[in-house]
Structure 1
């Protein structure tokens, strides 16, 4: 009996030490959800015949245009007085009129980027037969 008493006490001691431990509090991870933007934003990348690339981001909600060209960023405000989509600031003007994308420096009338997009050609014309 004395031989069994020691293993039983050891077993009870181990059992009671593990049974009494409450699970630790898990670390709470709080992740702040990024507020979803409700702005109407469109982003286009144009490449002209010389291989120059211009990236245009238009925010229609804030009426702004952000132009990335040659590693520089230009922030422009939409001009309501000019036709279709035209944005400008004191020095630069961006326009996208009937497929012509133009970005120019106003003070010296220097065109920094120009792209004339071809119209999408439709299939061969079908004639109606009567």
Structure 2
């Protein structure tokens, strides 16, 4: 019986140690889902002949334009009635028509920024032979 007692105690110790262990909680994975925006955004920086720089960010999905000029920001809405890309609000108008970029103050007809981009030169012209 004396030999049986340590074996029983050892068996109880093993059973009690395994019985007390709980399966560890799985670490909760929290994923912050940010809604992916599929906005079509284009951003351009133009410098005119006087060295003034204008930064134009156009959101084609929301039909808005954000203009940064001389430390100020202007938010404009696309005008469907005007040609090519033209955006305006009550005071300002931005237009990009055939390479001419113009930003003006409407009520006083004052041009704040104007740039006429040079046309891109194509490669050597191929002439047709008859």
TM-score (norm 2): 0.75
Q: CA deviation at 1:64?
A: 1.4
Find the aligned partners of 1:41 and 1:115 in 2 and give their Cα distance: 21
Q: CA deviation at 1:26?
A: 4.2
Alignment partner, residue 41 of structure 1: 41
CA RMSD of aligned residues (A): 2.8
Find the aligned partners of 2:19 and 2:75 in 1 and give their Cα distance: 65
Q: CA deviation at 1:36?
A: 1.3
Q: Which moved more, 1:38-47 or 1:119-128?
A: 38-47
Alignment partner, residue 119 of structure 1: 119
Find the aligned partners of 1:17 and 1:53 in 2 and give their Cα distance: 74
Alignment partner, residue 59 of structure 1: 59
- Any gaps of 5 or more consecutive residues in structure 2? 1-5
Find the aligned partners of 1:50 and 1:19 in 2 and give their Cα distance: 82
Q: Secondary structure at the match of 2:104?
A: strand
Distance change in 2, residues 1:100/1:18 (3 Å): farther
Find the aligned partners of 1:21 and 1:51 in 2 and give their Cα distance: 73
Find the aligned partners of 2:31 and 2:51 in 1 and give their Cα distance: 43
Alignment of 1:1-130 (within 5 A): 17=17, 20-22=20-22, 24-130=24-130
Q: CA deviation at 1:85?
A: 0.9
Aligned length, in residue pairs: 126
- Any gaps of 5 or more consecutive residues in structure 1? none
